[in-house]
Structure 1
Amino acid sequence: MSDIKRVVLAYSGGLDTSVIAKWLEVERGLEVVTFTADLGQGDEIEPAREKARAMGIPDKHIFIEDLREEFVRDFVFPMMRANARYEGDYLLGTSIARPLISKRLVDIARKTNADAIAHGATGKGNDQVRFELSAYALAPDIAVIAPWREWDLTSRTALIAWAEEHQIAVPKDKRGESPFSTDANLLHTSSEGKVLEDPWEETPDYVYSRTANPEDAPDTPEYITIDFETGDGTALNGEAMSPATLLAALNDLGRKHGIGRLDLVENRFVGMKSRGMYETPGGEIYAQAHRGIEQLTLDRGAAHLKDELMPRYAELVYNGLWFSPEREMLQAAIDHSQQDVTGTVRLKLYKGRADVVGRKSPKSLYSEAHVTFEDDAGAYDQKDAEGFIKLNALRLRLLAKRRGT
């Protein structure tokens, strides 16, 4: 650490990371490079440039990048092919953003000859693990600075006092204690802390920022179609769209109909339970549609194996192991399964729900001739079922005889 001269900071432009930028300079004597990623969080990110300049950081060391397409194409969509939900519910909106941010931090560190990267994650959460595991996987010799694990600014009051002492502007809305913290990107918004810390209390309506209250959503359902090619969404209502454009359009629909809210008590990788509120409007619609097209196009064995692999895959993403060999191995198997996942899904959006109501595919394995209750013209010989059942029952019958039943 004593050899570090320059550090690349994941910089949002907010109060916490502004304090970190100045702290790295004042307390650690480092030259600071800032990196701000546009992942579709919805806030203006260009003001981060002026805030960095105000702290004396030269333009050549201020990086602001629009990563929305890369985020959805190379991270969200591959994860969605796996139908990944951590602990059966969470669509991993925060988790999947961290490896991309880490990747760019490392790239910029190499470009600027920086010795280290830094982040604003706390020592209690998962994000510190995600940032650092990703960074070490890509640059094994990189140094990582996590100020929240080092400094003595252990309260918001202390943080604000330090900011004022070092001429860092403190917005009025930051002077009171924040009722909850949020993280946002094109896939989701998460909220946790303060008003959400008691798992018995219902989430106040003012916490929700991404979705209408389902009770206030339109009384008339809306029908949409999503087209898929080899496992990835390509069009909405017949209009071709890029990955990020498609997800953004689905977010608008999900917001309108109050889709994608989740109140979850989860098991953090660091060992504690936490309660969070997640809004994933477009992601929930997309996830339902993807499973809908898989119902037609995946063989039973492949579909069931995917469902067995999914919890492990989701756990790897949640724990920050996106760049691990085991995640890449699982991804290869999942991507292989998607070769024929092509077709169109029709969904009904209504009062907080996204229900698949129709699906069609040129690669469909669904045979109406086999499942019809009418005359199947010899497509299926029902007599075959007798031998099938007897063979599967053989071990059960032998067990029963041994028991004497």
Structure 2
Amino acid sequence: MSKSVSKVVLAYSGGLDTSAIVPWLKENYDCEVVAFVADVGQGEEELAGVEEKALASGASSCFIADLKDKFVKEVIFPTLKTGAIYEGQYLLGTALARPIIAQAQVEIARKVGADALAHGCTGKGNDQVRFESCFAALAPDLQVIAPWREWNLRSRPQLLAYLAERKIPCAASATKIYSRDANLWHISTEGGELEDPWNAPSEQVWSWTAEPEQAPDEAQYLTLSFNKGEWVALNDKAIEPVDAIAQLNEIAGKHGVGRLDMVENRLVGMKSRGCYETPAGTVLYAALQGLESLVLDRATQDYRIRLGNEFAQLLYDGRWFTPLRDVMLAATTKLAEPLSGDIVVKLYKGQVTVTQKRSPNSLYSNAFATFDEDEVYNQKHAEGFIRLYSLASRIRSLQQKGEGSS
């Protein structure tokens, strides 16, 4: 509690934590609390009655911002083109949403004349870093309040008792098996049996995807079309990005595609285990990788892979609003210029497989690659290439045998 606060904008979800944070802020900072809710595609269930909950908790007002379209066009699609995958597995569903939420929260704070921002992130996780790094870049003059780093409430029963004492209604129960975070791109699940990495996830962990063994016995084929790395059509029909991702989540989820059970390295230093479901993202990444294999030369593809790894780290670490992000996305835009074409994917029993690919910018030439007789490649020329390519190894071997000349 570093200085006095008159009005604070709280990133509010309507869950137990943020329901308790509203009265806590009023009591401990003697301030007005404005609730801010970001609709990033988490679903109508989570948003139902959220304004009423905020006001019942003591908020003076509640703003709900529909960020889905902006989320897709300004964050998901640009990141997709980079090929960013954290630690070779995670498609960054939670990290992707944080910059767009933090930016909108700052805009609301400016609109209502707030002098502080607050969030419900714990002191153990990545999200506190992500939110506060965005706040630092966008609104360094605003104070940031993180109740989980200040209060002495440490458990769900304590939070429920705190609300009950103040006669604030809350539908949460004392026992909550899992912690979930959902948006248009993915849903994550942590806690419960997942806290022991020796425990396999039970079926109740998964929300969006079918058990692969129970998925349809007949494969489904989809055609995805891209223009300069942007997804533009599904089965030859132009897409509206938000609806298309939701539709693809449903289609791929039905086939059990997009499950990930991962132990990852958090930014704050500890390891954590999460189960992630990203059906549409898994299909789109596979399709774009198939297209890249057709149109990018080896050196360019190697660079794109390195850039993707670096961008994944940047995004995971909450450094979206930085000059480095601008530079990396500019490079990605250039790299994606030839990524136009069609990809056919097969969805079957938890797997997505690229089966067909075509592009007007394809570097694949049957005339060169054929095993049959051709008139464009003289195989005798390979001997000189190999001798030059392996020259260093040849010289080293001769020196070791004492046969090299000085």
For residue 226 of structure 2, give the secondary structure of its aligned residue in structure 1. strand
Answer yes or no: is the 8 Å Cα contact 1:260–1:352 preserved in 2: yes
Give 1:56 shift.
4.4
Deviation per CA, 1:338-381, whole angstroms, max 9, x where unpaired? 011001100000000111001111111111111111232x2222
Deviates more, 1:89-98 or 1:359-368: 359-368
Work out whether 1:48 is the aligned partner of 2:50: yes
Work out whether 1:8 is the aligned partner of 2:41: no
| One-letter amino acid of the structure 1 residue matched with residue 174 of structure 2 | G
Deviation per CA, 1:204-237, whole angstroms, max 9, x where unpaired? 1111111111110000000001110110111111
For residue 185 of structure 2, give the secondary structure of its aligned residue in structure 1. coil
| RMSD over equivalenced CA pairs, Å | 1.3
Partner residue in 1 for 2:89: 89
CA–CA distance in structure 2, aligned partners of residues 47 and 203 of structure 1:
31
For residue 377 of structure 2, give the secondary structure of its aligned residue in structure 1. coil
CA–CA distance in structure 1, aligned partners of residues 366 and 31 of structure 2:
68
CA–CA distance in structure 1, aligned partners of residues 303 and 339 of structure 2:
15
For residue 333 of structure 1, give the secondary structure of its aligned residue in structure 2. helix
Partner residue in 1 for 2:211: 213
Answer yes or no: is the 8 Å Cα contact 2:345–2:352 preserved in 1: yes
For residue 37 of structure 2, give the secondary structure of its aligned residue in structure 1. strand
For residue 346 of structure 1, give the secondary structure of its aligned residue in structure 2. strand
Q: How many residues align?
A: 400
| One-letter amino acid of the structure 1 residue matched with residue 54 of structure 2 | A
CA–CA distance in structure 2, aligned partners of residues 22 and 204 of structure 1:
36
Partner residue in 2 for 1:119: 119
CA–CA distance in structure 2, aligned partners of residues 179 and 195 of structure 1:
8
Work out whether 1:386 is the aligned partner of 2:383: yes
| One-letter amino acid of the structure 2 residue matched with residue 192 of structure 1 | E
Q: Map 1:251-290 to 2 at 5 A.
A: 251-290=249-288
Deviates more, 1:286-295 or 1:43-52: 43-52
Give 1:278 shift.
0.6
Partner residue in 2 for 1:176: 174
CA–CA distance in structure 2, aligned partners of residues 178 and 16 of structure 1:
12
Give 1:134 shift.
1.1
| One-letter amino acid of the structure 2 residue matched with residue 394 of structure 1 | L
Deviation per CA, 1:226-259, whole angstroms, max 9, x where unpaired? 1101101111111111221221111011111001
- Out of 325, 335, 338, the residue aligned to residue 337 of structure 1 is 335
Partner residue in 1 for 2:33: 32
Normalised by the length of structure 2, the TM-score is 0.96
Work out whether 1:23 is the aligned partner of 2:24: yes
- The 3 A distance-change label for structure 1 pair 3 and 27 is closer
Partner residue in 1 for 2:305: 307
Partner residue in 1 for 2:101: 101
| One-letter amino acid of the structure 2 residue matched with residue 251 of structure 1 | N
Partner residue in 2 for 1:250: 248
Deviation per CA, 1:176-209, whole angstroms, max 9, x where unpaired? 3211100000111101123210001100111111
CA–CA distance in structure 1, aligned partners of residues 85 and 316 of structure 2:
9
Deviation per CA, 1:32-73, whole angstroms, max 9, x where unpaired? 111111111123314111112323434xx3211211111111
Q: Which runs of 5+ in 2 are unaligned?
A: none
| One-letter amino acid of the structure 2 residue matched with residue 355 of structure 1 | T
CA–CA distance in structure 2, aligned partners of residues 43 and 93 of structure 1:
19
Answer yes or no: is the 8 Å Cα contact 2:33–2:58 preserved in 1: no
CA–CA distance in structure 2, aligned partners of residues 175 and 247 of structure 1:
33
For residue 94 of structure 1, give the secondary structure of its aligned residue in structure 2. helix
For residue 340 of structure 1, give the secondary structure of its aligned residue in structure 2. coil
| One-letter amino acid of the structure 2 residue matched with residue 32 of structure 1 | V
Answer yes or no: is the 8 Å Cα contact 1:250–1:286 preserved in 2: no
- Taking only the aligned residue pairs, the percentage that are identical comes to 49
For residue 27 of structure 1, give the secondary structure of its aligned residue in structure 2. helix
Partner residue in 1 for 2:397: 400
Partner residue in 2 for 1:141: 141
CA–CA distance in structure 2, aligned partners of residues 320 and 157 of structure 1:
31
Answer yes or no: is the 8 Å Cα contact 1:46–1:64 preserved in 2: no
Work out whether 1:130 is the aligned partner of 2:145: no
CA–CA distance in structure 2, aligned partners of residues 139 and 265 of structure 1:
33
Partner residue in 1 for 2:77: 77
CA–CA distance in structure 2, aligned partners of residues 332 and 222 of structure 1:
36
Moved over 3 A (4+): 55-58
CA–CA distance in structure 1, aligned partners of residues 48 and 198 of structure 2:
39
Deviation per CA, 1:155-185, whole angstroms, max 9, x where unpaired? 11110000111122121xx323211100000
Q: Which runs of 5+ in 1 are unaligned?
A: none
Partner residue in 2 for 1:186: 184
For residue 93 of structure 2, give the secondary structure of its aligned residue in structure 1. coil
Answer yes or no: is the 8 Å Cα contact 1:34–1:52 preserved in 2: yes
Normalised by the length of structure 1, the TM-score is 0.96
Answer yes or no: is the 8 Å Cα contact 2:20–2:57 preserved in 1: no
Answer yes or no: is the 8 Å Cα contact 2:221–2:347 preserved in 1: yes
For residue 268 of structure 2, give the secondary structure of its aligned residue in structure 1. coil
| One-letter amino acid of the structure 2 residue matched with residue 207 of structure 1 | V
